[in-house]
Amino acid sequence: MKIKTYLYIIFFSIPFLINAQEDYYYINYKVYPTFGSIENDEEIKKSKINYIYKGIDDAIADLSYSLVTSKDESYFYLDEKMPKDKKIYVLAKSYSGSEDFYSNQTFNYKIKIKSFLNHIFYIKDTTSYNWKIYNETKLIDGKKCYKATTTKKITLKSRVKEYEVIAWFYSDIPTSFGPKGFNGLPGLIIELIDDKVTLVAKNIKKGVNFPDKKEFENEDALVSQEAYDKIVKEKVNDFFTNN
């Protein structure tokens, strides 16, 4: 099992306890465009910059994500690799998600880990999801999964976009976590439909170890989402001012 060679976790001066007897699961997720080919999307094809999307379908299909999780703890991350085309790889990640997430249910906190201008930011993630669970089920790789929906809000420039997220969870695996920081369901999220992309679990292993390397830092290393957004805005403005 290939796991990132580093894992940064920040704690709020709280002792971190790992139960060596606790079962950890490793889940590999593949990602697909929710609405079919992006390259063949009519709006993309009509765009004056449609050339930048050439190869994005294959680039997204080549992405892989991993989740290591127990009942109370999880770490979700992109399996980084050397891309054939760096520009289309970056674009594919912008569609599918490039953030890592560390969650600890015991201490009730979640951290979003993002890279910007070659700097790692640790962002307090206060997002919570109000799930609606249905009786509707479907089999995914032989597993009986239940449907759940929630609403997600994202800010695009000055506009707030709100859309429905659909999750299919498997209650026989005792964890409430899933990909991309989504949690709070009574079972592992096997399939997640998050707007333009869908992530599906393709490989599940039990009895793995949680990533070994941890860096313990203090609360001062954390930033809020608002502070991070401000940093990004300032850096972008500086770039356009000086170029």
Is 9 part of any domain? Answer: no
Per the domain annotation, does 185 fall within a domain?
Answer: yes
Question: What pLDDT, on a 0 to 100 scale, did the predictor assign at position 194?
Answer: 94
Query: What's the mean per-residue pLDDT of the chain?
Result: 83
Instruction: Measure the CA–CA gap between 70 and 90, rounded to whole angstroms.
Output: 30
Q: Considering the domain boundaries, does residue 5 fall inside one?
A: no
Summarize pLDDT for 29-54 with one digit per residue, the tens.
999 999 999 998 888 888 888 889 99
Residue 208 lies in a domain: yes
Residue 97, domain member (yes or no): yes
> Is there a domain that residue 11 lies in?
no
Structural domain includes residue 79: yes
Domain of 95, in residue numbers: 21-242
Number of folded domains in the chain?
1
pTM of the shown model? 0.84
4 within domain boundaries: no
| Residue 147: per-residue pLDDT | 98
